[in-house]
Each structure stands twice: as C-alpha cells, then as structure tokens.
Amino acid sequence: MLPLVLLLAVSAPQPVGVLSTTKGKVEVVQPSQGVFRQAEAGLLLESDDAVATGENGWAEIMLTQSLTLRLAASSELKVHRDFLFLGNGRVWIQSMSSPESLAHELRVWGGKLAIRPGSTLIAERIAGRGVNITVIRGEATVIMKNSAYPAQSVLESQSYWLRPSVVGLRPQKSSRAIWKILSQESRRVLGDRLGLEAYLLHWVQTVKTQFRSPSASWEMPKMETYIRGELGAQFDSLLESAVRPAPFSENEVPAKGPNVRVEVSFEGS
Amino acid sequence: MHLLTLLLLSSVSTSTTSASPVATSSVSRVVHTEAAYFSAMAKGSSSLHQKNYGLAALAFEQATKVKPQSARAHHHLAISLSNLNRNQEALDALAKSAQLGNRSIEADELRALLLIRENQIPQARAELAKIESLPSALLGMSLNVSGSAPALYAHLGEVSRAGVMTTSVLAASAASRGLALQAHSLATIAQDLGHEFNQALWSNAMRDLVTRINEEQGALTMRGRLKTTFDHVKNPEFKAAGQTTLPSATRFSFAAEAALAWRFDTFRWDSSVFALQRIYLAQNQGLSDYAINGLVWANRFTIPLNQRPNATRLHLSLRVRDLYADNFRVHYANNIEGGPSLRLPLGSSSFIELGILGTATDFIDRSPPDDVVSSQNRDLVGQRAFIELAWANEDLSGDITASFLRDDARGEAFDMNGLSLSGRILADLSGGLYLRTGAGVGLGRFGPVGEVSVLGAAAIRNEFRLYGEIAVLVRLADWLQLSLENHYLQNAGRTGHAYTDNILSFGVEVQY
C-alpha cells in the first residue's frame, strides 16, 4: 500500500508556476488536455503548459526561481521547467533570483536569451521583423541560432533586434518607450498596489503652497553695485556718489583745457 | 483516461526505478512544497488585487514560510505590509528580499515610499536618485529632488492616466515653490485631463488647487510693511580718513513700502513704492544734509517662457529713485535703471540669473552739495551686467552675484569701470530665528582724466571696496520681525579718499 501511495504522490505533476493575475481573455493549453481553455487566476501551471492572451488579454505568471512574467495582449508563451518559449507577442520578465543562480533561458524564433538572475527585460516578437529585446535592469545574452557569430550581450538600458536573417547587429540605447507602455498596462490591471498614487494624490491635495508675495523694491532690479543692507542698498550708494568728491583732486582735473603743462627753461639764464 | 493513467504510472515507474524510498519522499515533499508555495502566492496576489491587504499579508507570509528563500514572496509581503501601514515591517521584508537577489525597480520605488512615510527624507532622496521610472520621478517631485522634473516633461499634458498624474504633480510642485503662474496653468490642464479620463479624484484635487491659487494668489495681491531702525553710524558724512568729521552719530530710520503683484494669464507684474526718512538725533543741524528722504518706484514683469514649473523666466525691471535730504530741502539726485534678465532654473531649488541693465543718474544742478563736490558734472549713464547664482533649501538659502559695472559720466573724473563680487546667506535656525551674513568686494577704476599717454598712471584712480554684514532676525509672528544688523564698509582709495563706515542697527518690522 505504501509504495502505491508514494507512487501516487510522486505522480502528482509538479507545478512550475501559477497564473497569479489575469484580465480579459487568457487561455491555457496543457499537453494532457490538448485544447485551449479559459484560465483563471490561481491556476497552477505545469511544465510544457502554454499560455495565450487574447486581444484584450493580460496575464501575470509566477514561475519557479522567483521569475515573474507579464504577458501582453495577443501573446503566446510556453513554460517549461528549464526554459520559456515566446511564440508570439510581448512578455515582461523579472527575475528576483540571487546572482548565484543559473541563468534563465527564453527561447524565441531565431535564437535564445540567457537572462542573468536579478534582471528585468522585455521581449517582443514582431512578425516579419524579428524579436526586440529591451533590458531594463541587469543583462541578457542573445545567442543566435545557426550563426557563427558570437553571443551578444545586451546591457541595462539597451535594446537589441534579433533577426534571423540579419547578423552583426549591435545593441542600441533604448528609449524605454516600450517599458513605459508596459508599465502603464500593468498599472491598469494591477492598480496602485504599492500605494504610490494614493500618496501622490494626498500630497497634491495637501501641498503647502508658498506663493511669492509682491516683490520688494530692493529686489527689482536685484542688482546693486555693492550690497549694503536692504535700506542702504537703495540710497546709500546714491548718497555717497552725491556727496563724495571725485577720486581726483580739483587741481588734477582742471575744469577746462588740456592736462598738459609745458615748461621751458633757458640754459644759462 | 486509462491511457493517461498508464502513461503516468509508466512515467513514474521509469523515473523511480532507481530511486530509493528516501529520494521518493524528497521528491514528494518538493512537489508538495511547490504547490503550496504557488497556491499561497496566487491567493496573496488575488487578495492584493482585491485590496484585502490583511489576507494578502497572511498568504505571502505563508509563502515565505514554505519557501524562505523566495525573494518574490518577501517582496509581495512587503507590498501587503506597506498597504497596512506597517512600514518598518515592510522595510524589513524588502531588505530580506533584496538580500535574496531582488533588484527590481518596484522594490526600489516601494522602499523610497516607505522611507518617505517614515520621514527618512534624505534616505528616500538617495533611493530615488538611483531609479529611472515615472513613479520615482513623481515621488522625487514631491520631495523637490533636483533632476526629477525633466523625466516628467514627456508626460506633461499627455492624454493618458500618466499624463493626468504627471501634470497634477507638476502643478502641485509649482505651487509649493510659489510659482503661481505655472501652477495655475498646469492645474487647469490637469483638471481637464482628469475629466477626460474620468479621474475624478485627481480632477477634484486640481480644481481645489486652482481655487487655492485664486484665493491665496488672486489676480491682485498686495503687501505693506513698515520698518523702523535705530542706527548707530560711524562716519556719517562719508569723510575720508584724516579729515575732520563726526566720529559717530545716532539716527532713526523710518521706511514704508506698499507693493502689489498683478497676475495676468501668462505673466506677472510686481510694483512697489518705497519711502525712507532718516532723522539724526544729535547734531541734527550739522547732519541735516545726511538726513535723507528717499523715494523709489520699482517694477518688474515676469514672463515664464513655457508652462513647465522649471521654466526659464524673463524679467523686465524698471526702478526710479529720487533722493532728497533735510526734509526735501536738498535734492541730490534722481536715477532710473532697468533692463532684462533671464532666470535659468538649475533644478527645483536653485537658479542662475543673467542680466544687463542700464542706469542713468542726474545729480541735481545747483543744489548745495553739487556745488561743493566737484567742478565736473557727475551726471552719468552706465551699464551693469551681472550673473547671479541663488539657491533656497529648507534651512539655508543664499546667492552669489558677480557684476561688471560701467559709468560714463559727463565729467571724465567720474567715469568708472568696475567689477564686484558679493554673496549672502540666510540660515533658518528654527524657532523663528534667522541668521543672515554677507560679504562683497569691488574694484573700481576711475578716469582716465586727460591724456593717458601724457599722464600715465596718474590719469586713473583705483578704489577697492570691502563690505561685510551680519544680521540676526527674530520672527515673532507672521507680521512682526525684530532685527539686529551690522554693516561694515571699507573703501581703500588713495590718501584723502580712503574711509570706513559702520552701521549697527536694531529694527522692528511690521508686515501686512
């Protein structure tokens, strides 16, 4: 009896992840079932299960090794115990694994990515163009299929196009536009779960305004020859100019005529 | 179904043929652990989504017990605890998560928010400086983190939810820094965007902000103040060293100012009228020429060059001064000066201002002092160019100004080219106590008189001036302030022209 119980326990499929949040049309196909069926949040995923989102679909998936995925609309992703496969669409991947862990593998058409633990990236397959990889944090290494070219490292804030028909492309600095779109999508579905918006709204509602009083005369223009205090600045320099003599003596500066004195001396006189 | 069972059994039997009972038990435990972990995570996520934070915290706590090495479980536990305002516990959970490898931006954002809530503002600022994201930039704006604003400009007025939030936060930030023009404009835009996107809370907040701006900074605001100081003055006659003079004198100064600011749609006009009367308490006959009566009318137009809170501002200034003495019996001079200046923000709390001003002074002919000062006409037209760096933090504000000065007088002895550098600092010592200190140096070159090629160095005169001030201000109420100030000036000219003066004054100021 005991061996049978043990066998049954072992025979229970080991989950590799869970659909933690869904919105809109999200379907899962499990090899054992063979057909797509509507999936709800909380569904445990097994190795080789595939998740597909509809045109209005969105899904968050938590996998082993602290890997979290967010699947955008019209996307397909297969989860395997050892790798992921992006069939179509766009996926946001965040790893919270420790640096000592093994790299995560994302397979795409035309190659695969080794995602360094602790990284966050977005991969998007655009039919006819290839796969775009944007690394938000950390690093990913792109390995092209059937290519003699070496693996290409994509660093933080870089973007890379993986095109099976083109080799030798270099990573470019990313505008992060795609990340902003995905962040907004996530916020729409997940809401303000950190409480950031609530904090900002409260701050906006209660911000202490400090409107400037009408400016004082000594500030307009805020320009003095020498600073002499608020009251002195406006009048003392003017008074000083009015009462102080010129820096030259009067005999140095005749009212009229040239400042030239001609002396003539006669020898012997 | 039978086929499936067979497949499963065969699969299990294949995989366990070489496994010992201990290994089988271990596998079973792993299966159970994974399932329990993911169930707890899913339950927590669902509760989090439904804003049932207590239940979410319990579920994620359970997940951390099942898998203590899960950085994600600790991360989500921190989110739940944060929403329960258990900030310190949330920070601890985040620290644990980070220790296990969590380097996510969301974790950094949450940490910054928790630090703000815990009033650990410097740490929060440091945290925000590391993150490049919209939420972090918005949080940064709420803390006046320099450099946050540019990241938000892309979303300013954007037709999106992010646009509503960003424009609202920028409006509030502008209001918090006294930029009424920008705040009003941005709040109006944000209110409209909020309506469009059905963001009632944000829209209402902006409506309230517009109301506050209109109430506190209506189209027309006024300010009045009276200041009386009792001054002990050394060398009140500006006499040069060695000349006979009164060593010191005491006087009262009375100053009154009425100012207004008129906010138009896109610009602001400040105008102020200021009057000063000085009365010497002893030897008032001998010092009557120094018992000045001064009048000033000053104006400034402020024009922001765009709607951003950190917009460059164009100032156009004009000031007219008229100086009399002895109860208006002596008319010394009148002066008009003004010009444009450009204020360039360097962040949320500092700026550089560049300006070019023109100045013209008419020393009144035939008034007694004019006759005795010089046979040359001192009337002048001059130019001023300056650059000012100013900053204002919660506890410390200040400015440094460097200027080029040029006076072109009718009498060549009063022509002058000069440079000056001055700085001032105001420190808030808390409890209504402020300390202000400043210093300045200036170099003026007068002349040349006659032909330089003939007279050589004798054709010019240099003067070096040194200035220092220190003041303690005590704000007893919003409308009442006491001050104790000392101003010192040393003018190092040639013999017969060098002098020093010092003013020690105690003052009372009443503001409306």
Q: DSSP secondary structure string, B115-146?
A: HHHTT-HHHHHHHHHT--SHHHHHHHHHTT-T
Chain A residues with CB under 8 Å of B483 CB are none
Indicate yes or no: CB of B202 within 8 angstroms of CB of A201. yes
**Which of B10-24, B239-253, B462-476 reaches the highest mean pLDDT?**
B462-476
The Cα B339–Cα B358 span in angstroms is 6
- pLDDT for res B14: 35
Mean per-residue pLDDT, B489-504: 82
Is residue B97 within 8 A of residue B75, CB to CB? The reply is yes
Confidence of residue A36 (pLDDT cuts 50, 70, 90): confident
**Which of A36-40, B85-89, B212-216 reaches the highest mean pLDDT?**
B85-89
Higher pLDDT, B174 or B456: B174
Indicate yes or no: CB of A221 within 8 angstroms of CB of B363. no
Residue in A176, A188, A209 closest to B216 by CB: A209
Tokens of residue B442, six digits: 């200036």
Which residues face B361 on adjacent strands?
B335, B380
Higher pLDDT, B28 or B156: B156
Chain A nearest C-alpha distance from B399 (Å): 11
Residue of chain A nearest B220, judged by CA positions: A214
pLDDT tens readout for residues B369-386: 776 777 788 899 999 999
Residue of chain B nearest A99, judged by CA positions: B101
Residue A84: phi, psi to the nearest 5?
Answer: -120, 155
Chain B residues with CB under 8 Å of A43 CB are 42
Confidence of residue B512 (pLDDT cuts 50, 70, 90): confident
Indicate yes or no: CB of A214 within 8 angstroms of CB of B183. no
pLDDT tens readout for residues B198-239: 889 999 999 999 888 887 776 788 889 999 999 999 988 888
Confidence of residue A55 (pLDDT cuts 50, 70, 90): very high
- pLDDT for res B124: 93
- pLDDT for res B17: 37
- pLDDT for res A7: 47
- pLDDT for res B316: 94
Residue of chain A nearest B229, judged by CA positions: A231
Mean per-residue pLDDT, A138-154: 84
Lowest mean pLDDT among A13-22, A211-220, B137-146: A211-220
Closest to A77 in 3D by CA, of A105, A51, A46, A48: A51
Give the helix/strand (H/E) hosting A135.
strand A130-137
Q: DSSP secondary structure string, B156-222?
A: TT-SSHHHHHHHHHHHHHHHHTT-HHHHHHHHHHHHHHHHHTT-HHHHHHHHHHHHHHHHHS-SEEE
Lowest mean pLDDT among A79-93, A228-242, B136-150, B409-423: A228-242
Residue B4: phi, psi to the nearest 5?
Answer: -60, -45
The Cα B158–Cα B193 span in angstroms is 8
Indicate yes or no: CB of B369 within 8 angstroms of CB of A221. no
Indicate yes or no: CB of B42 within 8 angstroms of CB of A41. yes
- pLDDT for res B19: 39
Q: DSSP secondary structure string, B28-65?
A: HHHHHHHHHHHHHHHHHHHHHHTT-HHHHHHHHHHHHH
Residue of chain B nearest A60, judged by CA positions: B45
- pLDDT for res A40: 87
Chain A nearest C-alpha distance from B261 (Å): 5
Residue B350 has pLDDT above 90, yes or no: no
Confidence of residue A110 (pLDDT cuts 50, 70, 90): confident
Residue in B290, B376, B471 closest to A253 by CB: B376
Going by the DSSP 8-state scheme, the letter that residue A163 receives in this structure is B
pLDDT tens readout for residues B280-328: 987 666 888 899 999 999 999 999 888 776 789 999 999 999 999 999 9
Distance of CA A187 to the CA centre of its chain: 15
Residue A120 has pLDDT above 60, yes or no: yes
Residue of chain A nearest B452, judged by CA positions: A259
Indicate yes or no: CB of A253 within 8 angstroms of CB of B339. no
Indicate yes or no: CB of A184 within 8 angstroms of CB of B24. no
- pLDDT for res A33: 77
- pLDDT for res B10: 34
Residue A3 has pLDDT above 70, yes or no: no
The Cα B408–Cα B457 span in angstroms is 20
Mean per-residue pLDDT, A125-147: 87
Higher pLDDT, B369 or B463: B463
The count of other CB atoms within 10 Å of the CB of residue B480 is 13
Mean pLDDT taken over chain B: 86
Which residues face A50 on adjacent strands?
A29, A78
Map residue B348 onto helix, strand or coil: coil
Indicate yes or no: CB of A210 within 8 angstroms of CB of B238. no
Lowest mean pLDDT among A73-77, A256-260, B375-379, B480-484: A256-260
Chain A residues with CB under 8 Å of B27 CB are 10
The pTM assigned to this predicted structure is 0.66
- pLDDT for res A11: 54
Chain B residues with CB under 8 Å of A13 CB are 31
**How much is the CA Rg of chain B, to the nearest whole Å?**
35
Chain A nearest C-alpha distance from B344 (Å): 15
Question: Within 13 Å of residue B465, how many CA atoms lie on the same side as its CB?
Answer: 22
Mean per-residue pLDDT, B417-424: 92
Chain B nearest C-alpha distance from A99 (Å): 6
| Best to test chain A binding among B24, B103, B278, B412 (most A CBs inside 10 Å) | B103
Residues 6 or more apart in contact with residue A26 via CB below 8 angstroms? A19, A38, A39, A51, A52, A53, A54, A57, A58, A59, A71
Mean per-residue pLDDT, B185-196: 91
Give the helix/strand (H/E) hosting B454.
helix B452-455
**Which of A166-180, B81-95, B486-500 reaches the highest mean pLDDT?**
B81-95
Torsion of CA B18, B22, B24, B30, to 10 degrees: -140
Indicate yes or no: CB of A96 within 8 angstroms of CB of B103. yes
Indicate yes or no: CB of A253 within 8 angstroms of CB of B440. no
Residue B506 has pLDDT above 90, yes or no: yes
Chain B nearest C-alpha distance from A166 (Å): 32
Chain B nearest C-alpha distance from A243 (Å): 6
Residue A209 has pLDDT above 90, yes or no: no
Lowest mean pLDDT among A55-64, A87-96, B117-126, B237-246: B237-246
Confidence of residue B107 (pLDDT cuts 50, 70, 90): very high
- pLDDT for res A9: 47
Q: Provide the ipTM.
A: 0.76
- pLDDT for res B447: 84
Chain A residues with CB under 8 Å of B417 CB are none
Confidence of residue A187 (pLDDT cuts 50, 70, 90): confident
- pLDDT for res B1: 38
Tokens of residue B386, six digits: 């300056």
A196-206 vs B134-142: helix crossing angle, rounded to 10: 30
- pLDDT for res B12: 35
Going by the DSSP 8-state scheme, the letter that residue A198 receives in this structure is H
